[in-house]
Structure 1
């Protein structure tokens, strides 16, 4: 891949320091130095050279070749946004995010890989940033190359990517908004998660958008990113999600999967410093619950 990066500061910087300021990992900087090509105004440079204020660095990195263990799928994707580094999609419920033992043929990763091939990309390893469970629908962010995922790493590690969900939860919510702060641990069966003081810190901010007769529509924002976090947190309050068979949610409410949808996503592109915000509408099965 080829990318142009500009020194937008008012001071000259060593290229190594400049790349580090852009979020490049040590490994990626090493790859750029030893395997890639760097140029300023057409002249080859190294990481020890200086990038003057306002100058642009032209960086070419080795291509990410296709993994033969991950087949191409050419099934459709609902694309919300795309540029040279990022792909944002609206994932339907029932589609797995990444290949696994039960499905290696048709997941989000397989479909993105097919999409990249169809569009002539030479980087053919998609990097899922905001993974969703199979039966959770909604907005997902995928990095189209290792450079993008590397520079976004600080936002991922510091939970700076804002993710909001809509969920239908059972019962009457006494508290209309708040933060659920309960640590989560893997259960002994290896499948479930549960609240446990010995677990990893987990925080979910929520507010009730509407209370129906025997269930409520809530907006939940992940302040941490634990497996099954929203399911476990609301179940721990006695309000499991509608359709959530795994955590004993009611299954007779007209929806056959957990009523959870990733509605919005915000992040800052470290390469361009542009702020991005994406919103996607809830699918029909949840819309039917909303319109009761």
Structure 2
């Protein structure tokens, strides 16, 4: 691991960069600089905005000129470079189902984490950055579980990220998932309101009165002998929400390694299924630039379609 000394930089803040705190801006600009050092150079007045000292919570405005002082960064010689020639990375190009100057939507494959870390060299966002090397900005708007497939929303501008995340906070984004669950789902079960509490040690989520308010709405799509294909729409966005709510209702999702039932896995395994049958199938949101409603659907992967076909045949 070697060190490099940067030169003083002057950055003009445009509309797209405005609104973020100066500490977050610096951490993005100086990626290998320790967080403590970022706050130190701000506190010592080495960072200037319009030639004036500022505090770490200062929010940048369009037209500001930020002076970033020279700093010493650690250059990680062994940091892996994600190659677009890797099959897993290259194949993602065909999984991009919508893209313009503001938004990119990926039909994420099951088994691919949304970002690297915890022993993973890369996730969906790192792979997309490798596929779009000239993109100045690519950030996740939200997350879905590693084993869940389907729609993943990515912002290509900071202003788009703020706009879309505000919609998620205000719960105006409509998301619809397909899930194959055990047994016969009752038509009368159209919603589950059950608070969820996450165990911070093992990340297992349970229904618990001390948890956070959580609501999921359900609709039956198709019934089979011993399974039901349902549509699930999470109103809140808790960790593992759909998976836990279906389990709580007595109908766990097929091939759920945390909340599932092995008997159901054996039953669906005869249909060729070997992955979590939870798919983010549709999303509706207001486009951050045009202000028009965007309605995007992501098709099921072939393995899920084949499993449904086999279930229809056996039923």
Normalized against structure 1, the TM-score is what? 0.75
Distance in 2 of aligned mates of 1:256 and 1:178: 28
Structure 1 residue 27: Cα displacement:
4.2
Partner of 1:251: 265
Structure 1 residue 79: Cα displacement:
0.9
Partner of 1:221: 233
| Alignment map for 1:171-182 (pairs within 5 Å) | 171-182=183-194
Partner of 1:115: 131
Distance in 2 of aligned mates of 1:169 and 1:290: 12
Distance in 2 of aligned mates of 1:27 and 1:191: 30
More helix by share: 2
Structure 2: gaps of 5 or more residues: 1-11, 23-58, 67-74
SS in 2 for 1:289: helix
CA distance change for structure 1 residues 85 and 245 in 2, over 3 Å: closer, same or farther?
same
Distance in 1 of aligned mates of 2:236 and 2:80: 29
The answer on whether the counterparts of 1:73 and 1:113 sit within 8 Å (CA) in structure 2 is: no
2:289 to 256, 271, 275: 271
1:157 to 141, 151, 169: 169
Distance in 2 of aligned mates of 1:163 and 1:70: 35
SS in 2 for 1:288: helix
2:113 to 92, 96, 113: 96
Distance in 2 of aligned mates of 1:279 and 1:158: 22
Distance in 2 of aligned mates of 1:271 and 1:35: 25
Partner of 1:206: 218
Structure 1 residue 84: Cα displacement:
1.1
Normalized against structure 2, the TM-score is what? 0.69
SS in 1 for 2:303: helix
Structure 1: gaps of 5 or more residues: 5-18, 37-66
CA distance change for structure 1 residues 70 and 272 in 2, over 3 Å: closer, same or farther?
farther
Q: How many residues align?
A: 241
Between structure 1 and structure 2, the one with the greater Rg is 2
Is 1:30–2:46 an aligned residue pair? no
Structure 1 residue 285: Cα displacement:
2.2
The answer on whether the counterparts of 1:177 and 1:208 sit within 8 Å (CA) in structure 2 is: no
CA distance change for structure 1 residues 208 and 262 in 2, over 3 Å: closer, same or farther?
same
The answer on whether the counterparts of 1:94 and 1:134 sit within 8 Å (CA) in structure 2 is: yes
- Runs of 4 or more, structure 1, over 3 Å off, are 24-29, 67-73
The answer on whether the counterparts of 2:106 and 2:153 sit within 8 Å (CA) in structure 1 is: yes
Distance in 2 of aligned mates of 1:199 and 1:31: 38
Distance in 2 of aligned mates of 1:93 and 1:26: 33
1:129 to 141, 157, 172: 141
CA distance change for structure 1 residues 70 and 157 in 2, over 3 Å: closer, same or farther?
farther
Deviations along 1:55-112, whole A, 9 cap, x unmatched? xxxxxxxxxxxx987854521221111111110111111111111122133x101111
The answer on whether the counterparts of 1:207 and 1:218 sit within 8 Å (CA) in structure 2 is: yes
- Two-structure CA RMSD over aligned residues (Å): 2.8
The answer on whether the counterparts of 1:181 and 1:201 sit within 8 Å (CA) in structure 2 is: yes
| Alignment map for 1:61-100 (pairs within 5 Å) | 71-74=81-84, 75-76=89-90, 77=92, 78-100=95-117
Deviations along 1:217-259, whole A, 9 cap, x unmatched? 0000110111100100000111100111211333211222221
